[in-house]
Structure 1
Amino acid sequence: MGSGRVYVDCETTGLQDDAEMIEVAVVDDDGRVLFESLLRPVLEHETIATDIHGITLDMLASAPLLAEVADQLAAALEGSVVVAHNRDYDISQLEQAWAIHGLPAAHWAGTDCTMEAAAARFRPGQRISLHDTMAALGIDPPPGAHRATRDAQCARLVDLALHAV
């Protein structure tokens, strides 16, 4: 892509050390979806965090491996400032996913975190969820489940509101 800010969200199998990214979305400054995909995990997982994101193992059975869509994902991120609500988590998941597949990671111009910015404003020294941040900013969340595209869109709305104030 190469300019401006892009908003990223990843859904994973869970929070354990061997957790894998199973969905990722990238949205641009205008809210257009540049990339979105479920991703089939490499490792066998008996359970995944379905109660959080609604993604099931059956949904992932026919999803592509990251290696099959890595070029498209990298192109969506390339040269941009990558913004996520929990930057450290999402960036680590992206980097770990590329490493699991033995692929070179995308190169971005920098990163930013809406959670850190919101916490500084509303809850200094504490974490603040995306939902709570939206409520504090008076933003109605779009309908739908806690999924990558929706949450990337929410991070965009939060980022725009934080920079407008």
Structure 2
Amino acid sequence: MKTNKIEAIKTAREWLKLKPVFLDTETTGLDIQAEIVDIAIINHDGTELISTLVQPISPIPEQATSIHGIRNEDVILAPAYADIQLNIGSLLYDRLVVIYNKNFDLRLMEQSARANLEFPLTRCAMELYAQFYGDGTERHQSYRWQKQSNAARQLGIEMPANLHRAAADANLCRLIIEAMAATPLPDEVQNLDRFGQEICKCTLCGQKTPMIGTRLCDRCWELKSRIEADPDLARKILMEYNETRPPYKNGKEFQENEND
């Protein structure tokens, strides 16, 4: 595995530790006059913090509508960006903000606000995924950017039905970062199956299992789901564990010396 891909995996994991938010916008176009018509912020756990249409000053061109499906009649009753700007700022304040192609979205936020905005805690998922995917010249530390939809397909992520709407794309960004973070590093790979797929050990039972977004085997994942849904079962398992665990001595778990 290339060093840059390893660093991308580690970076994705560090971002997730900070419990970031994920932002996306849909706009009237790409130029310096373009405005936001749809904006969403998704929390690190997938919940929507805000998802709203925005009424632009200029009409939405048909070319833009053909991409995201938002028509002029859809935003007649929507708030202007100025009306939600403070709410957006409060949701982003002191949070790590991850955006796929962040330079574009931040520029459009400034254009819609008609003001110079500062978001110091922002990171670009597109740049990180380009490093992860590695399509480019490693010698020059330059990689080709991948469209968000291509990145999702390359990672095996199911595409949302409402692609190119802000909430769906922001959540897709979250799933891309999670998928990168779930990729095992070389020292985490225990074995390879006959198809060359990376295999790791389940963190609960030790059974070898494919590393696909989780470190639990199917059996332990099912047990985990049952425990979460049944508090009585959880208490029963905990009681059985307490009855079979080694005794404690001086506040520490006591283990007899095998040489005795």
User: Do these two structures clear the TM 0.5 threshold for a shared fold by scoring above it?
Assistant: yes
Number of equivalences: 159
Q: Percent identity?
A: 31
Unpaired segments of 5 or more residues in structure 2? 1-17, 137-142, 184-260
Could you give the per-residue CA deviations for residues 122-155 of structure 1, whole angstroms, max 9, x where no partner exists? 2232120111101111111222231000000000
Contact map agreement 1:13 1:47 (CA 8 A) in 2: no
Amino acid at match of 2:50: F
Amino acid at match of 1:26: I
Could you give the per-residue CA deviations for residues 16-60 of structure 1, whole angstroms, max 9, x where no partner exists? 221111110000100111111111112345545011100001111
Q: Which residue of 2 aligns with 1:75?
A: 90
Question: 4+ residue runs of structure 1 moved beyond 6 angstroms?
Answer: none
Amino acid at match of 2:149: H
Secondary structure of 2:160's counterpart equals: coil
Q: Which residue of 2 aligns with 1:26?
A: 41
Q: Which residue of 1 aligns with 2:173?
A: 155
Contact map agreement 2:33 2:111 (CA 8 A) in 1: no
Distance in 2, matches of 1:92 and 1:7, equals: 16
Distance in 1, matches of 2:97 and 2:26, equals: 16
Shift of 1:96: 2.1
Question: Are the structure 2 counterparts of residues 77 and 136 from structure 1 closer, same or farther at C-alpha, using a change threshold of 3 Å?
Answer: same
How well do the aligned residues superpose, as a CA RMSD in angstroms? 1.8
Q: Point out the structure with max Rg over C-alpha.
A: 2
Question: Are the structure 2 counterparts of residues 34 and 41 from structure 1 closer, same or farther at C-alpha, using a change threshold of 3 Å?
Answer: same
**Aligned with 1:116 (options 119, 124, 127):** 127
Contact map agreement 1:54 1:145 (CA 8 A) in 2: no
Question: Are the structure 2 counterparts of residues 63 and 27 from structure 1 closer, same or farther at C-alpha, using a change threshold of 3 Å?
Answer: same
- TM-score, normalization by structure 1: 0.88
Q: Which residue of 1 aligns with 2:74?
A: 59
Amino acid at match of 2:40: A
